[in-house]
Amino acid sequence: MAEENLSVVLHAQGDLRLENRPIPEPGPNEVLLQMHSVGICGSDVHYWQHGRIGDYVLTKPMVLGHEAAGRVVKVGSAVKQLKVGDRVAIEPGVPREMDEFFKNGRYNLSPTIFFCATPPDDGNLCQYYKHSASFCYKLPDNVTFEEGALIEPLSVGIHACRRAGVTLGTTVLICGAGPIGLVCLLVAKAMGASQVVITDLFPERLKMAKELGADFQLTVKRGDAPQQLAKSVADKLGAQPHVTIECSGVESSIQTAIYATRAGGVVTLVGLGSEMATIPLIDAALREVDIRGVFRYCNTWPMAIAMLASGKVDVKPLVTHRFPLEQAVQAFETTRQGLGIKVMLKCDQHDQKP
């Protein structure tokens, strides 16, 4: 095994460095992974540009990256379910204690959870990384490392669609056709949504959405009136959607989501915007439109792996750029500029394949 562990480390706002760190030693219930593919998420870029997201503030150097897959190279003494050579996808959120949230199956809400690349916890954008074996999932032979890394954003889509109650015959509006909007589209279709309309400012994103199975695309312009956009959605579908999944976090888009959703329907908020938002709450209340939040995901990796292995969901078209780990700063800049959909970093010098 190599002696060095090249890692992408954020030291402070705007200060992103490549540096060698020690190769960690796995504990009894952990495995050491040689990382293969790690996607860059919008949150990684946000920490780089701003040094914080909400209450999570960078106070010491932190390794970035949480969309990841790799190969087991060492197992802890108590690990039974994994062996050296296994290819795995990593669930980045690991509960630190068995609190009420863990016990009732909503461990993502545990206030003490470990989460990769959320201060103060290091992520896995590096060559070698150790992780709880219980939160590493074996990949079937027909699922690539890159697909394994994309299970993390795909999980956001699964959790959002579950929270929204998407099922056979549901009509869905998705606000925003970035990476998360697109995985919500893929999952909604896989879960049986009959028709999906998706909105975005950028026609090239809507073109990708169409290729991935969106039934209708709606180009929005800054300054469009939310009630008028809601009417345009209903016109395309022939009726208001049962469910709206809001992926932009933009205040006007949240307003559109509420106006657009039919009475008795559900609005699920996935996108993160400013802390306060002015929304038509009385309209939602009078029409019994439920507004539900989404915080990451829980209990999604097995379903995601089954979706990918069966071919029900194809995430491969989402990867538009690839960079070796040594070009991480260039890769981050590509993501910051909004080029393509998903930028993937390849951490194994000897295997740069998907």
Q: 4-138+315-346, what's its fold?
A: Quinone Oxidoreductase; Chain A, domain 1 (3.90.180)
Residues pairing with 33 in the sheet? 72, 129
With a pLDDT cut of 70, the percent of the chain lying above it is 99
Q: Does residue 350 have a pLDDT over 70? A: yes
Q: What is the pLDDT of residues 14-42, one digit of tens each?
A: 999 999 999 999 999 999 999 999 999 99
CB 216 within 8 A of CB 236: yes
Average pLDDT over residues 161-166: 98
pLDDT for 65 = 98
Q: Name 246's bridge partners.
A: 175, 269
What is the crossing angle of helices 179-190 and 203-211, to 10°?
A: 20
Q: What is the DSSP annotation of 169-192?
A: T-EEEEE--SHHHHHHHHHHHHTT
Residue 324 CB partners (closer than 8 Å, separation 6+):
345, 346, 349, 352
Domain boundaries, given as residue ranges, for the chain: 4-138+315-346, 156-293
The pLDDT of residue 1 is above 80: no
Split at pLDDT 50, 70, 90, the class of 108 is very high
Residue 215, Cα to own-chain centre: how many angstroms? 23
| Furthest CA-CA distance within the chain | 63
pLDDT reported for residue 354: 87
Q: How many CB atoms lie within 10 A of CB 343?
A: 26
- 86's tokens: 């296994």
The residue assigned the tokens 């009630």 is 227
- Give the pLDDT confidence score for residue 2 in this predicted structure: 65
SS3 108: helix
pLDDT in tens, 55-97: 999 999 999 999 999 999 999 999 999 999 999 999 999 999 9
Q: How far apart are CA 336 and CA 139, in angstroms?
A: 30
Percent of the chain as helix, strand, coil, to the nearest 5: 30, 25, 40
Rounded to whole angstroms, the Cα distance separating 45 from 42 reads 5
The DSSP code for 107 is: G
pLDDT at 3: 74
Can 4-138+315-346 and 156-293 be said to share one CATH topology?
A: no
Give CA–CA dist 35/72, Å, rounded: 9
Whole-number Å distance between alpha carbons of 113 and 245: 26
- What are the tokens at 320? 């538009």
| 287-294 average pLDDT score | 98
Peptide bond into 120 cis (omega under 30): yes
Distance CA 156, CA 9 (A): 25
173 beta partners: 197, 244
Please, are residues 199 and 248 in contact by the beta-carbon 8 Å criterion?
A: no
Q: Say yes or no: domain 156-293 is CATH 3.40.50.720.
A: yes
By the 8 A CB rule, do 309 and 140 touch?
yes
pTM, rounded to two decimals = 0.97
CB of 312 closer than 8 Å to CB of 288: no
Burial class (CB in 10 A: 0-12, 13-18, 19+), 336: middle
Query: Over the stretch 299-335, which tens digit does the pLDDT of each residue have?
Result: 999 999 999 999 999 999 999 999 999 999 999 999 9
Pairing of strands 67-75, 52-53: unpaired
Q: What φ, ψ does residue 343 adopt, rounded to 5°?
A: -100, 130
